[in-house]
Chain A
Amino acid sequence: MNIDGQRRVAVVTPWYPEPQIPFRGSFVRAMVDAVSPGCADITVYHLSIWTVVRPAERRAEIWNAQRLLLPRSVPPIAADGGVTLYRVPTMAPPTEDWRVKSDEFAGWLAVALDGRPIEAPIVHAHVPLTAGYAALQNCRPDAKVYATEHSSFLADILAQDDARARYDEILHRLAGFFVVGDPLREMVADTFPHHADKIQLISNPVDFRASRERPPEALRRWVSVSSLTERKRIDHLLRGFARCLAEDPQLSLTLVGDGNQRTELEELAAELGVAEAVAFRGAVEPDAIPGIMAEHDLLVHTSRHETFGMVVVEGLAAGIPVLVTRCGGPEHALAGIEAAAGQFIDVDDDPAVLAKGYDELRGRYPHGVDLDRARAHLEERYGYEAVARQHFEAWDRPAETEERDR
């Protein structure tokens, strides 16, 4: 049993905010921020993937050079909250083979560690197949390794025989396995029924410290916080917004985030005649997001699939209602407070669906929603203290209790 505040923890993750993409992995940083008050020290190993598109012979030469460079080129970065951060570039060939990627993650972390194990007795990894495997291969023999699955691409991983076998092995070796939403739990349990009782739900923490002073008066200033990629369906958001704007010219939409569809979406906004009402803010620092949300009246999220849908909880934490697609994670997160939090809509390419959902929400706002109740309910589950408690309970459990419970 660890004494509160004396835990020594390593976090191994493929995602962590960095200057190039400041929002990528912000949920991992939130997890680190949440648990850090209860730890003596936290070391984060950010295994950022570096895809090397070169012929195999040339790759071998690059790998040889990297083996010499890596152990001497990864100094600690002083992160907030007394956290020590190492960024470990993880070179990999351009492959869809997840087992190969898994091997590269473990191999490059070993090179960076110069053959020595991670010192912390508690290691928590994000994404079992990549960072989780790297943690298992590089931890102390007596360390307890935990992993949280967030991946929206888990179905692709589990469709590969070799990767599935590796995943099975990882599940055997982990001291604890967590998922951030019911869709992931079902997928893992269906694939590995013999591990079903090992799967636990855990939440991504959300900062509830900042909120609007007063709830929005009218739901006219929309905001979307999302990468501009196909899965997020921002094109459908623009089409739905155009319909609503035709009814109410005072509407505006702010798109926070960046991605490979940005140019296309800017062109679409112009084509739909809504460019003047739509602001593309680009990528912003994660710390700025609560403030931006609080400046708006409504969070609109049109994703096709989400394992958790953290942004929806963040919107409510900032004090604004949400208009969100039934895309997996958000249904779980908002179970029991759907009407209080805002409005669900189907994942449907018809822009009329979004427009109808907006009309319904607007028609019953403000009396038909209860943002305070929704917020309080979510804070109990997703607030920093609640999520830290969930991690500590898992980490502090004696090994025999874990065995018995299984």
Chain B
Amino acid sequence: MNILYAVPVAKRYRAMEHETRLAADHGHQVHLVADFRPYWETHEIDPRVTVHWLRSRELRAPESAPVTWLLCRIPRAVLRRLARGPLNRPVGKVLYEWNRKIANPIEKRRKHRTAVLRHDYRHAAVMSVMEKHRIDWLVLGEPGAVDLIAEDVPALLERRPELRTTYSYEPFADQEVADVR
């Protein structure tokens, strides 16, 4: 079968290594979609597994330079410099209020836009592998994987009722999804 092992957050290193290797041992074509983390600079996934590394943490939502400099960086730098000696408390208060009302909301909005950007990027990567490699077994190896495809699940299951879905790859008792009782 063509298996997609989806772990977009990818912190479960041992499971990723072990389960994808086991699936390859069992003769499946295995695709792994995972965020690249420093751990993988010194560890390897089984060479039989096709790895699609995501680099989502390199993505940042753009922010206009004037906004960043004029409303966040420069005011903070100036206020921090002034907040010394007898001016420490009053300027500290101004800095606190500036951060609360101006800078933090800007950064919060940018953080949110970055999260959406990364989510869309990961989602597109998973869907692309699904379509391109005719995946017939989807392993959702972490909560982040369910999060990623949450909106697609109803339509996906309706369109492809034969698609096998599991949360891990282990030596299952049979190849068919059995009654959980």
Q: Chain A residues in contact with chain B, CB under 8 A?
A: 18-22, 50-52, 54, 58, 61-62, 64-66, 68-69, 71-78, 84, 86-89, 91, 112-114, 116-119, 283
Contact = CB atoms under 8 A, between A and B. Distances in A.
A76 to B, nearest CB: 4
A88 B153 CA distance: 18
A75 B176 contact: yes
Contact of B177 (A73, A88, A116): A73
Main secondary structure of the interface of B (DSSP, over half): mixed
Nearest to A77: B170
Contacts of A76: 172-174, 178, 180
Given A75-B174, A84-B173, A119 B181 contact: yes
A137 to B, nearest CB: 15
Contacts of B151: 61, 65
Given A58-B147, A73-B167, A19 B142 contact: no
B100 interface: no
A59 B57 CA distance: 22
Given A58-B147, A62-B147, A69-B153, 11 more contacts: A51-B143, A65-B151, A72-B165, A73-B140, A73-B177, A74-B177, A75-B173, A87-B168, A91-B143, A114-B180, A118-B181
A69 B146 contact: yes
Given A69-B165, A71-B180, A73-B167, A20 B12 contact: yes
A88 B166 CA distance: 10
Given A65-B150, A283-B14, A72 B177 contact: yes
Nearest to A50: B143
Contacts of A52: 143, 147
Contact of B19 (A19, A50, A86): A19
B157 interface: yes
Interface residues of B, number: 30
Nearest to A76: B173
B174 A68 contact: no
Nearest to B171: A78
A168 B168 CA distance: 35
20 contacts: A20-B14, A51-B143, A52-B143, A61-B150, A62-B147, A64-B153, A65-B151, A68-B153, A69-B153, A72-B165, A72-B177, A74-B166, A75-B178, A76-B172, A77-B171, A77-B172, A78-B173, A86-B180, A89-B143, A112-B180
A75 B143 contact: no
Given A62-B143, A75-B172, A113 B180 contact: yes
Contacts, number: 95
A54 B143 CA distance: 10
A113 B179 CA distance: 8
A284 B43 CA distance: 17
Main secondary structure of the interface of A (DSSP, over half): mixed
A86 B173 CA distance: 10
Contacts of B167: 73-74, 87, 89
A69 B172 contact: no
B148 to A, nearest CB: 10
Nearest to A43: B181
Contacts of B176: 75
Contact of A75 (B12, B146, B166): B166
B166 A19 contact: no
Contacts of A68: 153-154, 157
A118 B179 CA distance: 11
Most buried by B among A54, A76, A113: A76
Contacts of B165: 69, 72-73
B18 interface: yes
Interface string B134-173: 0000001011001101110110010000000111101111
B142 A50 contact: yes
B48 to A, nearest CB: 17
